[in-house]
Structures are given as C-alpha cells and as structure tokens.
Structure 1
Amino acid sequence: MQPPPPGLALLPLLLLAAVGPPPSGALEPISVGIAIGAASALTGYLSYPGFYCGFVECCPGEQDRPNGTALRLNLDAKLFGQHLAKEVILKALTGFINNPNPKKPLTLSLHGWAGTGKNFVSQIIAENVHKAGLKSKFVHLFLSTLHFPHDHEIKLYKDQLQKWIRGNVTACAKSVFIFDEMDKLHPGLIDATAALDYREQIDGVSYRRAIFIFLRSVTSSVWLKALWLQVNMCVKEVEPLGKGTFHRSKHSGLWHSSLIDRNLIDYFIPFLPLEYKHVKMCIRAEIQSRGNEIIETVVQKVADEMTFFPKEERIYSVKGCKTVQTKLDFY
C-alpha cells in the first residue's frame, strides 16, 4: 500500500495552531492536551493504510488478490462466443496474479474480428486488478492514432513511452497497460516495451508485476476461415496461427517486433467471429445492463437489422456486437 502523503505528518501542528495560543496568564493544560490528543488520534487513523485507501486509490498490495470466481462470472456474463479466449484469459490472469514470484510481466495479444469482445476483455481484466477499472490511475490506455499519430516522431514516442512506463510502474508495480489499434501502430514503436523481459530489475525498477495487453483487429477472410475450421481445436493448436499473422502482415505494430522474436508475448488469443445467436446474447445483456426488461420481439428486431455474412446464410456478424448499443437506442 502507498503511505499517506508527507503533509499528514504536519496535521497535529496545524490542528494545534487552529486552537490558537493560550490567553495571557495561566496556561490551560487540559485544553491543550485534548487538542493534541485529538490531532494524534486523527493522524493515526489517516496513517492507517486501510483508512487512507478508503478515500484515495492505492496500488494493490500483495494481500490484494482478485477473485477468480468473480472473474469467471464476469466473463460468462459479458463475453459471448469466445470459448477459447475465455479459457486462456481466466487461467493466464489467475495464474499470474497468484504467482508470488513471476519471472516477467504478463503480456497478452488479443486479435480478431471487430466487435468480438477484445475491448470488453481488456476492461474486465482492468476491473479485476483495479476496482476503478479503466478509470483507475494505475490503468493506462493507449490509442495508436491518438497518442502516436506521426511516422516521423517514432524515436520521440519510443523515448516517451519508455519513461512513461517506468514512471507508472515505479508508482504501482501492478500497473496495467493497454495498447489498442495495434494494426495502426507504427512498426518498431512497441519495441519500447521489449526491455521488460526476464530481468529482475532494470535501473532499480521491477516490471514483473505489470500487465501488458495488445489489441488488434484482423480483417483477413483467409485467416478467419482458417480459424473457423479450427474452432473446436485447443488453444495450443490455434495460437501458432495467430502468432504467424504478425510475421506476415505489415499492418501490425508487432510486425518483426522483438517482442515476438524473443518470445516475450505469453499468449496470442484469437477472437472468433460472432454468430447470430451470439449477437442476440449481446442484445439481451445490453438490455439488462440498462435495467430494462428483456422483450424478445425487440431482441429479434435488433438482431435482424445487423449485417451478416455470407449474405445468403447470415451466419457470422460483420461488426460483431459493435453497433448493438446504437441500434438498441432506436427501440
């Protein structure tokens, strides 16, 4: 836990000053004693980590372990049609967090069709590690087109990114870093994180408790068809296919990255296209999150307005569940 700010140590003196100097003449030991006692008691409460962290967000300590059951329930309630991703994420995150001495940061690469749940999963992971989730000051989201827009500034971005990561891990060893739009990231920039390998410390800072998540949208129909054929295979058989896409595609921030060459990414997790039934699950979940009663005729209308492919069979959703909220607003 983080200690209270140094300013709290001055609280007894400030409270004592607020009482004011004793009147001319006799000193009042009882009044002064009460003031000092109250100030000391208040300072003691504020110095207690549990009390202090009730008002200010603190970095989780070793005793703060996320609930694996809660994580599973969260994934079951919000993630649909991704049995492979759910299995890997659950085991990877709980195993990493419960490991008293991890050898390196946890690094996950989530790749797949748009609207299939990659951002949902990164949000769930963030909430599982830090109660405030994406609003936590220990969770950092980077958007390639927003934070790294210019090709000619890669060297500057790289230097800034290294310093940013170092500073935030120093403040909280359990920091979470999410890099979205990896398909738009300039190749080579992500190597700023390549130093976070199996070293115990780098310049006195240990990165072993941090979590890095890379999100990439994949639009290759050939790649997706290969995944459909392997939908019933285990993760170990599907993962090499996902890893190979980053070596072959120039439209990836991980293209020829040392993160891949040095095997620093722990899991390549595929997100499969969502079927019609999965879209209906998303619609129901969205209705429930708004506190409304589920009306199946509305669910059917919204699902029928979504675009599917192949056009004749209408098996897979083109945009996953990405436009469900907007279309549901209409009804």
Structure 2
Amino acid sequence: MRFCNQWQSHISTVWDQTLSSKMTKLASTGRGLSETSSRMWEWRGWNGLLAVLTSTPLKTCGISLGLEADLGRNLFGQHIASEVIVNAVTGFMNNDNPKKPLVLSFHGTAGTGKTLASQLIVKNIYKKGMDSRFVHFFNSVINFPHASQVETYKSQLQLWIRGNVTNCAHSMFIFDEMDKMHPGIIDSIKPFMDYQYKLDGVSYQKAIFIFLSNAGGKIITQTTLVSWKAGKKREELKLEDVETALSSSVFNYRKSDSYVVDFFIPFLPLERQHIVQCIMVEMVAMGLQSEHNKACEMADKIVIYIPDDERRISVSGCKRIASRLKNFM
C-alpha cells in the first residue's frame, strides 16, 4: 500500500536529515528528546528515534483485506454497503494527497448494521479501534439535545473538530441519528468537509466523517420489496438503484447540502435468513451452543416481519436481538 511506502520513505528521509546534525549532539549530552504530552509517547537515544519516526496511531498495512473480511463475517445481507465501504475507505487511505475529507453517509432502517459497519471501519484503521483518542462519536439526540443551545453546540463542535484534526490529520468523526440533528449544527460542520486546502490554517483533507441515519430507510425498503416482487435476487440490487433517492434524504432532507457527501450508502432491510445469522452470532457471544434449528425457531418468535402475508423483511433488523434472546432463553 502506498501509505506503508509513504512511512518507509518518511523514515529514511528524516533519518538521513537528522542523523548528522542532531544525533551527535544527543550522544554527547547523553539525553534524548521528549515529545509533548499530547503526542503520548517519548523517546530516548538511538533506538528511541526510530520508534518516534515509525509511531502512528493507524494500521498502515492490510486495511483492504482486513476490512473486507470483517464486513463479510459480521455484516449480514449488505452486499452493496460492504463493497462501497471497502472501495471508498481503502481508496482514501491509499491516497497520499486527498483533495477533501472522506464523507460517508449510511442510510437504512434500524438494526441493519450501520453502527456495526462504522465500528469495523474504525477497527481496521486505528490500532486501538474505538478506544483510539482519534475517533470521536456523537449522538445527535444525546450530545445536542436542546434547540435553544444550538449556537453553543456549533461553536463547541467546531473547536473540537479543529483541535483534534490539528493534533491528528487522520481523525475520524462519527455522527449517529443524523436525521435528528438540528440544521444549524449541520451547517457548522459543512466547511470542514468541503474541497479546501486549508481552513484557518488547518487542513482537513485526511479526516473521515461518517453519518448514520434512518433517513431514506423507507425508500430502501420499498426498493427492496419491489425488486423481490419482480422476481429479482437480493444480490441483483445495485447502488445506483437507490443512490439518487438517498441523496435527497441526507442532512434533514436538504438536497442542497448533499454535495459534501462522497458516498450515500444504503443498508438493505434484513430478511429472516439474516436474522438467523444474527441470532447464532449472539448465541455464541452469550456462551450458548449455536444451533441453527434453535436460531430459526427464535427468528420466527421474537422478530416481526413485513408484509404480514409474506413475512419477508424484519421490521427492526437485528436491533435488540440480544435482549430478546435473553428473555426467550
């Protein structure tokens, strides 16, 4: 990957430039240099220099294969989302000089895997996964609950994004329940996602923004049902079948704002077979024996499906499967 090569080249270049001018002085004094506490690491002496030059919070190799494998194992029934996510994320991370931040907008009804997909992206980019201090998660309802305080939220959020991107160019910001976010707050973060070399002296071109939204869920469900009734296989659905409709559903349905989003990614409603997969995974997580027949029985009893006469699509996806499974057991 070019990102790996970039770091190898960077190490070699910096080593050559600093070896004669700095290391002689350090050796004579017997002291190393301490980085600021915000960098969260220190180095001492010759071995320490190499550690500093190679330090990065990112997983710099194997992102594509790891992400594709994780999505394949854990994200059920989402062939469109999985393909777009792998291509978008790996393409962005392999680009040494992106023109703008990567902005992904995940759409679908509850329980279809939007949050899980964002977590898998994080896992494959950052060494510490969701525990990385360079990953920032916001819930629109919890973090920005009061319309009367929108101006305060705007200024605080702008400062937070600016400060963290200044500290780490590859910072990631995830916003959940985006369809419930106040338009004023959305306006305040749009400049960070646009095509700008720098904004107030800070470059945001290597940052990643991910939005999770239920907006467009009805459109996706309708498209899926129409395709199924037409006799098509689920896997025949393509991104272009729903992307146009989705682009008008983001950012509180304001189409004029959609230009900052690179990919509108649909999460299809889950079918019974996918619910069975979710239940089996949850059974293993609970320390239970994973039995397919038992999972099928549970899928029929603890999940509501539509249409009523066909019972094709789960109303709530895999959401709350864990709690319902405990009650069932």
TM-score by length of 1: 0.77
Q: Is the 8 A contact 1:194 1:258 kept in 2?
A: no
Deviation at 1:244, TM superposition (A): 2.2
Deviation at 1:219, TM superposition (A): 7.3
- Show the 5 A alignment for 1:97-112: 97-112=93-108
In structure 1, what is the Cα distance between the partners aligned to 2:155 and 2:248?
Answer: 28
Structure 2 partner of 1:284? 280
Structure 2 partner of 1:44? 45
Structure 2 partner of 1:255? 253
Gaps of 5+ in 2: 1-6, 8-28, 34-42, 228-233
**Counterpart among 225, 228, 235 of residue 225 in structure 2:** 228
Percent identity, please.
42
Between stretches 307-316 and 222-231, larger displacement belongs to: 222-231
Deviation at 1:129, TM superposition (A): 1.2
In structure 1, what is the Cα distance between the partners aligned to 2:91 and 2:118?
Answer: 17
**Counterpart of 1:209 in 2: which secondary structure?**
coil
Deviation at 1:188, TM superposition (A): 2.8
Gaps of 5+ in 1: 2-35, 247-252
Q: Is the 8 A contact 1:46 1:52 kept in 2?
A: no
Structure 1 partner of 2:262? 266
Structure 2 partner of 1:75? 71
**Counterpart among 187, 208, 229 of residue 205 in structure 2:** 208
- Show the 5 A alignment for 1:24-63: 43-44=44-45, 47-48=48-49, 50=51, 58-60=56-58
Aligned residues: 283
**Counterpart of 2:110 in 1: which secondary structure?**
coil
Indicate yes or no: 2:115 matched with 1:119. Answer: yes
* Shift in CA distance, 223/270, structure 1 to aligned 2, threshold 3 Å: closer
Q: Is the 8 A contact 1:45 1:51 kept in 2?
A: no
Q: Is the 8 A contact 1:306 1:317 kept in 2?
A: yes
Deviation at 1:134, TM superposition (A): 1.7
Structure 1 partner of 2:137? 141
In structure 2, what is the Cα distance between the partners aligned to 1:209 and 1:153?
Answer: 30
Structure 2 partner of 1:178? 174
After superposition, give the CA deviation of every residue in 1:191-241 in whole Å (9 maximum; x if it has no partner): 222112111111221111110000001476455213433553421342111
Amino acid at match of 2:60: D
In structure 2, what is the Cα distance between the partners aligned to 1:108 and 1:282?
Answer: 25
Report the structure number with the largest CA radius of gyration.
Answer: 1
TM-score by length of 2: 0.78
In structure 1, what is the Cα distance between the partners aligned to 2:50 and 2:297?
Answer: 52
* Shift in CA distance, 289/145, structure 1 to aligned 2, threshold 3 Å: same
Amino acid at match of 2:243: E
Indicate yes or no: 2:262 matched with 1:245. Answer: no
**Counterpart of 1:109 in 2: which secondary structure?**
strand
**Counterpart of 2:253 in 1: which secondary structure?**
coil
In structure 2, what is the Cα distance between the partners aligned to 1:92 and 1:195?
Answer: 21
Structure 2 partner of 1:9? none
Q: Is the 8 A contact 2:180 2:252 kept in 1?
A: no
**Counterpart of 2:296 in 1: which secondary structure?**
helix
Structure 2 partner of 1:329? 326
Structure 1 partner of 2:289? 293
